[in-house]
Amino acid sequence: MTMELFLRVFLLSIFIYSNDAQSACSDCSPYGSCIEKNNDGSCSYCVCPKDFSGDCCETEPNSCAINPCSTTAGEYWECTDLGAGQRECKCQPGFTGSNCDTDSDSCDAIKCYNGGACTDDPVNGTKCQCDTDFSGNFCELTDNCSPNPCIYTNAGVSQTATCTNQVADYTCTCPSGTSGKNCSDNHDDCEKNGSNNICTSADKSATCVDGLDEFTCNCGAAYEGDKCETYDACFNVTCANGGTCSTVAGNYKCTCVLGYEGTTCETVTDNCSPNPCIYTNAGVSQTATCTHQVADYTCTCPSGTSGKNCSDNHDDCEKNGSNNICTSADKSATCVDGLDEFTCNCGAAYEGDKCETYNACFNVTCANGGSCTTVNNKFKCDCVHGYEGDKCQT
């Protein structure tokens, strides 16, 4: 291998060729090397150092891009490209060194104004902790928002809007309904048709409280509604015992719960008047004992009756499917239902509890003091001494 070829291989291991140099270079800049010259002495191929470019290696790299200051310093550095492959790191307070990667106690190098205190953070560097009413990196700015000058009135109550501090100034973000530098201008929403009280069209005692794009009416005791326009007849009425009051045609009306009555529901309803406990005994309506309760009553039913009102009465005249227990002998008899009992009204020729006995004497009169008895379904007159005959007539 010739010396010239060895030199080319050696240089290629260190440098990178410029891409396809198309024109001759008088020189390969101060940084490149010419490995092949033309007859006129110009260079036809330049070999450039790493990160240099151009046919003649004339374009230098950005030193800050290929060799930045240390990123461990975060935002506390600034890199300046000096050319010729050189760069300079300008460190922010709190860091030193060629790469700004050395933390230093930079509180000695800065001043916090207006009573601020300096703190040194290994990661974030130095920082001024400002007292109230001051701001800025070095507490150099006065807080024009303390105390807050953005004061407005809402419904008679002072409130504060959002204040944004500026150099020697401030800006108020005013809520709707207010305006002015300090939001202190508030249109009176209570005004209407030249009057300063929109609430008094019906209630002359009402007062209006101005708000933000709105108003509130404080009504007198007898009025209600957004503008106190509705008369409330119930304002001094209390409906007793859970009753509710409403205004009807300008007057109050108490709606009572079950069991109460009266204009203000003050009276307990007498649920036993009239007496609802009615039953029938032997065809005659009678009343049982009624006990009053709130919204109810209780009937004390006599034996033989039942139900809420004692109106259920079993028919004691029924027997073996018949509805007249009295007609087994006397077909003309009638039965009257009672309470756990019955009464048979017998025809003229029958007698007994169930009209079961035939009375042959029913239409016979024994004369002269004689007495009649029934014997074998026939009448017999028993005559006094001195008389005789079937009816003692002789």
pLDDT, tens digit, for every residue of 342-357? Answer: 889 998 899 998 898 8
Candidates 65, 76, 195; CA nearest to 137 is: 76
Instruction: Write the pLDDT tens digit of every residue in 72-119.
Output: 544 556 788 787 767 888 876 666 777 777 666 667 777 888 889 988
CB 367 within 8 A of CB 393: yes
Q: Strand pairing partners for 128?
A: 118
What value does the mean pLDDT take over residues 212-225? Answer: 89
Q: Residue 278 is which amino acid? A: I
As its CATH architecture, domain 144-186 has Ribbon (2.10)
Would you say 110 and 82 are in contact if contact means Cβ atoms under 8 Å apart?
no
Domain ranges of the chain: 3-103, 144-186, 271-313, 334-382
Please identify which residue in the block is written with the tokens 């033309």.
38
Whole-number pLDDT of residue 92:
67
Residue 92 is classified by DSSP as P
Nearest to 174 by CA among 155, 191, 156, 159: 159
> Distance of CA 47 to CAs 84, 176, 390, Å?
17, 72, 180
The average pLDDT across 232-253 equals 94
Four-way CATH pick for 334-382: 2.60.120, 2.60.98, 3.30.70, 2.10.25: 2.10.25
Strands 260-261 and 267-268: antiparallel
Long-range contacts of 64-67 (CB under 8 A, 24+ apart): none
Structure confidence at residue 331 as a pLDDT band (50, 70, 90): confident
Question: Are 245 and 234 in contact, with CB atoms under 8 Å apart?
Answer: yes
Q: Is the pLDDT of residue 193 over 60?
A: no
The answer to whether the beta carbons of residues 196 and 188 sit under 8 Å apart is yes
- CATH C-level class of 271-313: mainly beta
pTM for this structure?
0.34
pLDDT score at 370:
94
Segment 178-187 shows an average pLDDT of 90
- 45: how many CB neighbours lie within 10 A of its CB? 20
Burial letters for 131-151: b for 16+ Cβ neighbours within 10 Å, e otherwise?
A: eebbbbebbbbebbbeeebbb
Q: What is the mean pLDDT of the chain?
A: 83
Right CATH for 3-103 from 3.40.1010.10, 1.10.10.2840, 1.10.3720.10, 2.10.25.10: 2.10.25.10
User: What are the pLDDT digits (tens) for 354-382?
Assistant: 898 899 999 999 999 999 999 998 999 99
pLDDT tens-digit readout, 22-44: 467 878 877 788 888 888 878 88
pLDDT average, residue stretch 189-217? 80
